[in-house]
Amino acid sequence: MLTLFVSLSLSLRPRSRLLWWVKRGLLVVCVIYVSVPFMMRLFPDIIKHLVYSHRVSVPFFVNLSQPADLYLNHTVNMYLKSEQGISLGVWHTVPESQWKEAQGKDLEWYQDSLGAGIPIIIYLHGNGGTRAASHRVGLIHVLSAIGCHVLALDYRGFGDSTGEPTEVGLTTDTLYLYQWVKARSGSSLVVLWGHSLGTGDASSILHSLKRMKSRLLILHAEDDHIVPIHMAQQLYEIAQSAQNSENQVKMIPFAGSLGYHHNGLYKDPHLPGIIREFVHTLAP
């Protein structure tokens, strides 16, 4: 009888331990489920940071007012006021072929150059960091090298721009820059280039301008670990259906073996030719 009792107690002990861990696991889940809404109400800045990561000023120790320090020596830094109390830091890079002519020129010369009939690309970057992040500077170099003007801004709350980011605020900033460029571009073609978070702002602008029928080029790396390739494919199919034309929407995937992930498409040697061809199809 004694032996039987001992055996039963030993066999039940692991089960009781498992039950103990299950109960506490459920308790932790319940606490998290209940506390998260309160945390969001009490500390909204935490959620805002998770979405925008705008306080991460990467790279460190970079003077955004001196783009020449990043070998953008045909670039001017300027500040635009998108609305009362909001100052936006913006770089304007002229085509690489004009780098000698651009030396020592003032802001007025840069603005006047927008109306010369050369394509203009407004670059809307993703969340985190500033317009000086290495992959963003790399893309600016690529776009400038193929003969385009590039205007890259830091949204409100990013980089040296003032204010705090919101969905409406970012759209306001982007729309302001677009209208500022259009007022100075004459007959020059203006293209929106959105990356990651910036694709949402580009779409919002097109919606605001009632231009959702514009041509669309989707570039996506198959090994993108932040935005999976299947999401780009879904967007492509939706866009095709909305445009009701295969010629208006084009998607080019980049093989995962290239290792471009989320930010590395600017490294692809075929990218300049892809952009030139696309811009050519937009020419009036």
Q: Which two tokens stand for residue 118?
A: 């050369």
Catalytic site includes residue 262: yes
pLDDT of residue 12: 47
Side chain identity, residue 93: T
pLDDT of residue 209: 75
Q: Is-cis flag, bond preceding 59, omega within 30?
A: yes
Please indicate whether residue 33 or residue 112 has the higher confidence score (pLDDT). 112
- Classified as helix, coil or strand, 96 is helix
- Asked if the model's pLDDT at residue 122 lies above 80, the reply is yes
Of 154, 173, 201, 224, catalytic: 224
**Residue 26: pLDDT band with limits 50, 70, 90:** confident
CB proximity list for 67: less than 8 A, separation 6 or greater: 73, 75, 76, 77, 91, 93, 132
Single pTM value for the model: 0.83
- Asked if the model's pLDDT at residue 6 lies above 50, the reply is no
Tens of pLDDT, residues 28-87: 666 665 565 655 565 556 666 566 777 777 788 899 999 999 999 999 999 999 999 999
Please indicate whether residue 161 or residue 56 has the higher confidence score (pLDDT). 161
Of 196, 203, 223, 261, catalytic: 196
- Asked if the model's pLDDT at residue 10 lies above 60, the reply is no
Mean pLDDT on 255-262:
98
Q: What is the DSSP string of 135-148?
A: HHHHHHHHHHHTT-
| CA 41 to each of CA 36, 126, 168, 213, 234: distance values in angstroms, whole numbers, following the listed order | 9, 26, 20, 39, 33
Catalytic site includes residue 224: yes
Mean pLDDT on 114-139:
96
Catalytic site includes residue 196: yes
Asked if 131 and 116 count as a contact pair (C-beta separation under 8 A), the reply is: no
Tens of pLDDT, residues 163-217: 999 999 999 999 999 999 999 999 999 999 999 999 988 888 887 776 656 889 9
Asked if 191 and 279 count as a contact pair (C-beta separation under 8 A), the reply is: yes
| CA 191 to each of CA 55, 87, 102, 168, 216: distance values in angstroms, whole numbers, following the listed order | 28, 23, 22, 21, 10
In the chain, pLDDT over 90 holds for what percent of residues?
66
pLDDT of residue 7: 41
Q: What is the mean pLDDT of the chain?
A: 87
- Name the DSSP class of 118: -
pLDDT of residue 61: 86
Please indicate whether residue 9 or residue 27 has the higher confidence score (pLDDT). 27
pLDDT of residue 80: 98
Mean pLDDT on 264-281:
97
